[in-house]
A and B are shown apart, each in its own frame.
Chain A
Amino acid sequence: MMTQAASQDQSVIMRTEGVGKTFGRFVALKDITAEFRHGAITSIIGPNGAGKSTYFNLLSGAFAPSTGKVLFEGRDVTGLAQHKFAHLGIAKSFQITNVFPLLTTHENIRVSLQALVSRFDIFRPRTRLHELDDEAEALLERVGLAGHRHRLAGSLAHGEQRALEVGMALASHPRLLLLDEPTAGMSPEETRTMMDLIVRLAQERTVILVEHKMKLVMGISDRLLVLHHGELLAEGTPDDIRRNDTVKRVYLGQREH
């Protein structure tokens, strides 16, 4: 295992080898081989229903691919249970906001931090984990929710909940952060704040971003993957993608509908 990892190209953090996913008879994703560079922002784009979230779910361990392999830092993580991904250093936020609505924002983050430290301790008071409180405070500040520590997560505005979820993802100190349409349903102003946050977070870790609005990610991405009808249509730098005729056709075709 170690030798395999060592022989792996260090500049690649995650790879998929011929992954596909079928739901019943429906083929949502077909034979995708791709690499994600260490330290980069890679965006997965494509029109609605292209298979972005399906691919995202394979990368983040929500379910196993029907075919192919997923490798993280050279290690085969295909079919590994979802909860183990967080411990490996992969964290995610969902396309549809997922927080703990009846816990306070602070508790939301603290419980996420706790997953790495103390999962099955049933007898010590949790207030003894002081360092977690401070760390949770710092994370809340990081995602712009410092003033809201006592509010129930379910009572936050949509944009704030999305920011909270990013904070929860950061709690596991991930080397790889996966975000599925982090700006979905946000106002233009909230969107700008979120994009700034993502750029700042990407200075310290690898980010993979799913987005269907191409314009939004062109400026910040180092590389892009374009999916269409479950297939990898194109891959490259933003300039490559902008010049690609097939991509143009797919996105223009979209607008005509």
Chain B
Amino acid sequence: MATDLAFEANRQPSPMLEWATRHRVALASLFLLVFPLVMPFKALAVMILIYGLYALGFNLLFGYLGLLSFGHSALFGAGAYLCGIAIVHFGWPWYLAIGLGLVAGMVVALVIGALAIRTRGIYFAMVTMALSQCVYYLFYQAVDLTGGENGLRGVNLKFVNIFGFQVDFLDPLSRYYIICSFVIAALWVLSRILASPFGAVIEAVRENEARARASGYDVMLVRLLTFVLSGAFCGLAGALLALHLSTVPIETMHYETSGLAVMMCLLGGMGTFFGPFIGAAVFLLLENLVSVWTSHWQLFVGLAFMVCVLFFPRGIWGTVMERMKA
């Protein structure tokens, strides 16, 4: 800690970095607009968008507030299922279904959060994991609505109507750009939250709960609100996943999906704005590239993860940012 601090003791940011930070959403948007043109597989590019958003939502709680949740698959999965159910069973228009997915993420976050925020550290991880397993079980059992073990099939969306224009959702590139517009909007909202007065409170609570409390902040409320905000991003990501895959596999809610968020965050750099996104991209690219020539891809992804954690404890993006500050 001490050496860490000495390293960046004086945090007067360079003008370049400050400019880039102020326009981080615009810069990210530019990148995301070009991204699919250089990517060999458009579907993979879409998955990176979706999982990037999921990891971003997770990072709000993990990196910025300092709470390690092992139950985020429930928020992601609830978003996916509710969006899918609205379309399959109730014939809702796609944009309302996405809205429902987002709200579902928040509601599940509110319930899990209300029960878990009084615990801390490893207990928080365990309680969130146990509660997410309850949610998993609930969806697993509700076969009529969710398809149970087989997952929810038939979330078909052929065209989307945008301001009177019919856009072909089956075309990979236009699908990418539709989903991308949601992700960019989410990035913008997240950036606003982090730059808001409440964003400062989130970091203060992470840094020192007792001091935050003595300064007049209701720490429990801050945690709950951050959890719910995190649920909004994860729910939205889930909803987009349902539309992209045309189905919701039950694995979406599995605890492995929770672990995925942790891994992506650590890989890219927790508590940094773009880190989780980069983590998601690296993870999914590795998985796709390596699985082409060996079925033991998990071994290689695991190794890459370990190298990263051992040699770049701040993650890929975290390390880049550190170098730029120095």
Tell me the bound Cα distance from A154 to B5 in angstroms.
Answer: 7
Check A151 against B9 for contact (C-beta < 8 Å).
Answer: yes
Which of the residues A98, A120, A172 comes within 8 Å of B210, measured between beta carbons?
A98
Q: A235 contacts the other chain (Cβ, under 8 Å)?
A: no
A150 and B203 contact, CB distance less than 8 A: no
Instruction: Please give, as numbers and ranges, the residues of chain A lying within 8 Å of B10 by CB-CB distance.
Output: 150-151
Q: Is B195 within 8 A of A126, CB to CB?
A: yes
Cross-chain contact A123 with B210 (CB below 8 angstroms): no
**Are A91 and B201 interface neighbours, CB within 8 A?**
no
Smallest distance from the beta carbon of B3 to chain A beta carbons, Å?
A: 10
On whether the beta carbons of A86 and B214 are closer than 8 Å, the reply is: yes
Restricting to B231-250, which residues have a CB under 8 Å from any CB of A?
none
Which residues of chain B are near A114, meaning CB under 8 Å? 197, 200-201
Asked if residues B1 and A126 are in contact (CB atoms below 8 Å), the reply is no
Nearest-neighbour CB distance to chain B for A54, whole angstroms, equals 16
Determine if A152 is an interface residue (Cβ-Cβ < 8 Å): yes
Contact residues of B: prevailing secondary structure: helix
B11 pairs with A152, CB closer than 8 A: yes
Give the interface size bracket for B toward A.
20 to 34
- A119 and B198: CB pair below 8 A? yes
**Residues on B with beta carbons closer than 8 Å to the beta carbon of A172:** 215-216
CB distance from B190 to the nearest CB of A (A): 10
Interchain CB contact (< 8 A) of A103 among B197, B207, B213, B221: B207
Of all chain B residues, the one with the shortest Cβ separation from A148 is B10
A112 to B12 alpha-carbon distance, docked (Å) = 21
CB distance from B300 to the nearest CB of A (A): 34
User: CB distance A152 to B5 under 8 Å?
Assistant: yes
* With known contacts A101-B207, A123-B193, A91–B200 Cβ distance under 8 A: no
Q: Is the CB of B8 within 8 A of A152?
A: yes
Task: Among B6, B197, B201, point to the contact of A124 (Cβ < 8 A).
Answer: B197
CA distance A165 to B214 in the complex (A): 11
A24 to chain B, nearest CB (A): 21
B172 at the A interface (CB under 8 A): no
Distance of B286 from chain A, by nearest CB (Å): 31
- Smallest CB separation, A93 vs chain B (Å): 8
* Residues A122 and B193 in contact, CB atoms below 8 Å apart: yes
Contacts of A107 in B (CB 8 A): 200
Which residue of A91, A101, A169 has the most chain B CB atoms within 10 A of its CB atom?
A101
Q: Is the CB of A119 within 8 A of B215?
A: no
Q: Is B211 an interface residue (CB 8 A)?
A: yes
In contact, A83 and B208 (Cβ under 8 angstroms): no
With both beta carbons as reference points, the residue of chain B lying nearest to A88 in the complex is identified as B216
Q: Does chain A have a CB within 8 A of B219?
A: yes
**Nearest chain A residue, comparing its CB with the CB of B12:** A150
User: Is the beta-carbon distance between B208 and A112 smaller than 8 angstroms?
Assistant: no
Tell me whether A121 and B197 are in contact (CB under 8 A): yes
Distance in angstroms between the alpha carbons of A110 and B215 in the assembled complex: 11
B231 nearest CB across to chain A (Å): 14
Is A34 in the interface zone, CB < 8 Å from B? no
Query: How far apart are B1's CB and chain A's nearest CB, in angstroms?
Result: 7
Q: Interface digits, A230-252 against B, CB 8 Å rule (1 contact, 0 not)? A: 00000000000000000000000
- Structural contact, A123 and B200, CB atoms closer than 8 A: no
Whose C-beta in chain A lies nearest to the C-beta of B192?
A123
Q: Chain B's nearest CB lies how many Å from the CB of A217?
A: 22
Closest residue of chain B to A104, judged by CB? Answer: B11
Cβ A122 vs Cβ B11 within 8 A: no
Residue of B whose beta carbon sits closest to that of A128: B197
Question: Of residues 67 to 90 in A, which have CB atoms within 8 Å of B's CB atoms?
Answer: 81-87
List 8 tightest A-B contacts by C-beta distance, closest first: A86-B216, A115-B216, A100-B207, A155-B9, A98-B211, A155-B5, A118-B197, A122-B198
B: residues with CB less than 8 A from A are 1, 5-6, 8-12, 192-193, 195-201, 203-204, 207-208, 210-219, 221, 225, 229
* Interface contacts beyond A83-B218, A94-B210, A119-B218: sample of 15 additional A-B pairs, CB < 8 Å, sorted by A: A60-B214, A87-B216, A98-B208, A104-B11, A114-B197, A117-B197, A118-B197, A120-B198, A120-B201, A121-B198, A123-B192, A125-B192, A125-B195, A152-B5, A155-B9
